[in-house]
Amino acid sequence: MLMAPRHFITLMDLSKDELKTLIARAIELKAMRYANKRYEPFKNKVLAMIFEKSSTRTRVSFETAMSQCGGSAIFLSPADTQLGRGEPIEDTARVLSSMVDCVMIRTYAHEKVELFAKYAKVPVINALTDMYHPCQLLADIQTYIEHRGSIQGKKVAWIGDGNNMCHSYIRAAHQFDFELAIASPIGYQPNANLVAEFKEHVSLSTAPAQAVTNADLVTTDVWASMGQEKEHAKRAQVFAPYQVDSHLMSLAKPEALFMHCLPAHRGEEVSAKVIDGPQSVVWDQAENRLHSQKALLEFLLAD
Ligand code: CP
Ligand code: NVA
């Protein structure tokens, strides 16, 4: 009997130990890349990448990961596939599963990725939904570890929208065992069930200063995510007191890092001085998408 494939829909799909090993492997794969070591475990493997939203980092990192490891990737957008003309997700999942070795999806409704995975016979990776962005968290944790060592027991401050990234941070707090202090305005707070489920690791307030006090890592994200473009003006008003600027950073520990999944809006959720300043590790974070996703693909594609 064929074993059911492992998927990566949220951070809970891997055990704490598996995640720890995966991050360590990402660091190793990065060193191998820097040493120009040839490593092609994905020879003849194909990744299908369905993008229903825009992407720079996710697309390029997955495609490059497949290519550098000897495999290939196919970019699929709704504009040029039958998905855009209403072919059911279940049918698409069955068809792609019969041809490729792994499928990556970026879409709106989280349920769509879950449905795809239910009908897929190959591993499915969530490359961002309205609810979660687990791949980004792999890169973020790798980056923290590279700069500061273990994140266990550390304090992370999430400032701003209670969005997909915030939800993945909540799950990461549990999986990697750190304290997460979230500051979001009323009406834009993260999913209440998720906060309640992980309350041992997560606290919620409307006060950015309180959240960043003594933090080891300060992180934020855009005020209007993909699909919320029309709310931008209103959100800009509501979120104005939530900008991560030098004053806010000064309340965190002196050695605190600043992270942002990118793309960023300087002068909105973060000041230019902070994102371009010495505490910011956003470029390492972006690069680590490549290395951590290689480790993820290696894990999922293992025979
Ligand atoms: N951080 C991130 O996922 O970036 P892209 O939207 O460019 O893929
Ligand atoms: N919260 C952002 C993340 C982009 C990588 C969005 O969903 O648009």
What are the DSSP calls for 192-228, one per residue? HHHHHHTTTTEEEES-HHHHHTT-SEEEE--SS-TT-
Q: How far is the CA of 2 from the centre of ligand 1 (A)?
A: 34
Does ligand 2 have an atom closer than 6 angstroms to the CB of 297? no
Cα separation, 246 vs 222, whole angstroms? 18
Q: Buried b / exposed e across 240-279, counting CB within 10 Å, b at 16+?
A: eebbbeeebbebbbeebbbbbbbebbeebbbbeebbeeeb
Question: Is the peptide bond prior to 208 cis by the omega test (within 30 degrees of 0)?
Answer: no
Q: How far is the CA of 226 from the centre of ligand 2 (A)?
A: 6
User: How would CATH label the architecture of 136-285?
Assistant: 3-Layer(aba) Sandwich (3.40)
Among 144, 136, 113, smallest CA distance to 263 is for 136
Does ligand 1 have an atom closer than 6 angstroms to the CB of 262? yes
CATH of 11-132+288-301, one of 3.40.50.1370, 3.40.50.720, 1.10.530.10, 3.20.20.120: 3.40.50.1370
**Pocket perturbation via mutation, ligand 2, pick of 61, 261, 269, 285 by most ligand atoms within 8 A of CB:** 261
Tell me if residue 46 falls in helix, strand or coil.
strand
pLDDT of residue 3: 78
266 tagged catalytic: no
Does ligand 1 have an atom closer than 6 angstroms to the CB of 57? yes
Residues annotated in a binding site for carbamoyl phosphate: 55-58, 82, 106, 133-136, 261-262, 289
Q: How far is the CA of 1 from the centre of ligand 1 (A)?
A: 37
Cα separation, 277 vs 114, whole angstroms? 39
Residue type present at position 283? W
70, 42 contact by CB (below 8 A)? yes
The residue extents of the domains of the chain are 11-132+288-301, 136-285
Q: Which ligand is nearest to the CA of 166?
A: 2
Cα separation, 301 vs 303, whole angstroms? 6
pLDDT of residue 291: 98
130 tagged catalytic: no
148 tagged catalytic: no
pLDDT of residue 1: 52
136 tagged catalytic: yes
pLDDT by residue for the chain (303 residues), tens digit each?
Answer: 567 899 999 999 999 999 999 999 999 999 999 999 999 999 999 999 999 999 999 999 999 999 999 999 999 999 999 999 999 999 999 999 999 999 999 999 999 999 999 999 999 999 999 999 999 999 999 999 999 999 999 999 999 999 999 999 999 999 999 999 999 999 999 999 999 999 999 999 999 999 999 999 999 999 999 999 999 999 999 999 999 999 999 999 999 999 999 999 999 999 999 999 999 999 999 999 999 999 999 999 997
Q: Do domains 11-132+288-301 and 136-285 have the same CATH topology?
A: yes
7 tagged catalytic: no
221 tagged catalytic: yes
Residue nearest to atom 3 of ligand 2 (CA): 225
Q: Which atom of ligand 1 is nearest to the CA of 262?
A: 1
Residues annotated in a binding site for L-ornithine: 164, 221, 225-226
Q: How far is the CA of 225 from the centre of ligand 2 (A)?
A: 5
pLDDT of residue 98: 98
Q: Which ligand is nearest to the CA of 136?
A: 1
pLDDT of residue 249: 98
Residue nearest to atom 6 of ligand 1 (CA): 55
Q: Which of 7, 25, 106, 167 is catalytic?
A: 106
Residue nearest to atom 7 of ligand 1 (CA): 56
